[in-house]
Amino acid sequence: MDASIAAVVGAGVGAIGGLGGGLLSVFGQSRQLRQQHDAERQQWQQETRQAAYKELLVAAKQLSNNLWVAADQLNDPATNAADWQASFIEVHTSWTLFSAAAAGVNIVGPRAVADATDQFRHSMYEWWMILMNWTQTAVHQSNGRLSVFDARFKTAAEAKRPYDRAFQVAARNALGTE
């Protein structure tokens, strides 16, 4: 083989080696970029879920607080229908925020947390409805101290606790903090 053919073959082998090395480098970088994208997406999902779960818990605590304030006013002989209705407006606003936060959690999931959220929301709804009926009856009767509603209200407050806890456990499991 003469020198010119050896040079061409050598250049060809060098080109193929360089091309192969370049392709391996591109494939390696592509794989690394995919892994980085997946890690960033998981981080984003984790942060989004954490924010939604926190928003729901804050809204639940606010709703709970406003429900108790409204019930205390209904039981207070120094209050009247205007006071009761003003408190109920606060409760209704809190319910709206809680319900929206629950919808947000249902969107970000996962399914186990969404299911726990639905049960929690339903238990809070039952509690809220008791207060709404109590307020309406109190306004019509000009008397908020209605022991039947007070007892139902307290029973509903207790009944929602396991659902609150179940949501928190499901959220911790989803976030991997359990």
Range of the domain at 164: 48-175
In a domain, 5, yes or no: no
Say yes or no to pLDDT of 125 above 70: yes
Full-model pTM: 0.82
Q: 27 falls in which pLDDT band (50, 70, 90)?
A: low
Please indicate, yes or no, if residue 21 is contained in any of the structural domains: no
pLDDT in tens, 76-119: 999 999 999 999 999 999 999 999 999 999 999 999 999 999 99
**Residue 100: how many other CB atoms lie within 10 Å:** 12
Instruction: Judge whether 19 lies within some domain.
Output: no
Query: What pLDDT shows up at residue 122?
Result: 98
Whether 40 is covered by a domain: the verdict is no
Is the pLDDT higher at 160 or at 37?
160
Domain count, the chain: 1
Top pLDDT among 7 and 79 is at: 79
Task: Please check whether residue 80 lies inside any domain of the structure.
Answer: yes
Query: Is 13 a domain residue?
Result: no
What is the structure's pLDDT at 31?
73
- List CB contacts of 111: < 8 A, sequence separation 6 or more: none
58 belongs to a structural domain: yes
Rounded percentage of the chain residues whose pLDDT exceeds 70? 85
Average pLDDT, the chain: 90
pLDDT of residue 35: 75
What average pLDDT does the segment 10-33 reach?
A: 66
CATH of residue 104's domain is 1.20.1420.10
Confidence bin at 39 (pLDDT 50/70/90): confident
Res. 73 pLDDT band, cuts 50 70 90 = very high
Residue 32 resides in a domain: no
